[in-house]
């Protein structure tokens, strides 16, 4: 069973991935936060947007191929290849921070890459407003994230909502992070687990 956790910066993807992995005794695949361009990107987004996104795309493809080769019974992935393209690269292009030429090149690489990997059995989308994201970003204290522009986060939220509502054609379970805290409220985490169990039962019934 392949479960992916999607959501904006600071939405709690890594935390939920850790909790689900521990609960199910499963294997987790976390987002690569060691991108060598990320510090430069937050200092000068227009200069480093293409390099940042190409690195993330390559890292995500490599991770997903490793995940498939591992053949574990249950895996949880922190962010997907689709978000790299439809959310982050698309947003950078829309904001004028990635040129049309660079964006077209990026999408050609993405189109080929996306044929190599399967769609998640279930996508858990952590939906959060910008104030909630800012609170979480400040709480976790990553230095390179402290100057993230709120308008940038807002644009990403718009892209996420459009992707979930109009583009992504897989199964989605939405968690409203403004009102549902799976860390402090066990009932929320139990509800998420119930959805995962339902998907697992359906997959077993198809075998």
Residues involved in catalysis: 78
Burial environment of residue 17 by CB neighbours within 10 A (0 to 12, 13 to 18, 19 or more): buried
The DSSP output letter for 162 is H
CB of 75 closer than 8 Å to CB of 26: yes
Please give the Cα distance from 98 to 91 (Å, whole number). Answer: 9
DSSP conformation letters of 17-61: HHHHHHHHT-EEE------TTHHHHHH-HHHHHHHHHHHHHHHHH
Beta bridge partners of 173: 124
């Amino acid at each position: 069973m392949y479960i992916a956790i999607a959501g904006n910066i600071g939405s709690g993807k890594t935390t939920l991935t850790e909790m689900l992995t521990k609960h199910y005794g499963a294997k987790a695949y976390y987002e690569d936060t060691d991108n060598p361009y990320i510090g430069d990107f937050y200092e000068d987004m227009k200069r480093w947007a293409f390099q940042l996104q190409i690195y993330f795309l390559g890292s995500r493809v490599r991770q997903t191929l490793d995940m498939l080769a591992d053949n574990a019974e249950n895996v949880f992935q922190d962010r997907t290849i689709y978000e790299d393209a439809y959310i982050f690269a698309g947003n950078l292009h829309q904001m004028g921070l990635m040129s049309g030429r660079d964006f077209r090149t990026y999408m050609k690489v993405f189109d080929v890459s996306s044929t190599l990997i399967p769609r998640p059995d279930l996508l858990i989308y952590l939906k959060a407003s910008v104030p909630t994201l800012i609170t979480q970003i400040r709480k976790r204290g990553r230095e390179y994230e402290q100057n993230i522009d709120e308008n940038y986060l807002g644009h990403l939220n718009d892209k996420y909502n459009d992707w979930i509502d109009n583009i992504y054609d897989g199964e989605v379970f939405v968690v409203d992070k403004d009102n549902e805290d799976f860390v402090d409220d066990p009932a929320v985490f139990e509800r998420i687990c119930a959805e995962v169990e339902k998907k697992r039962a359906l997959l077993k019934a198809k075998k």
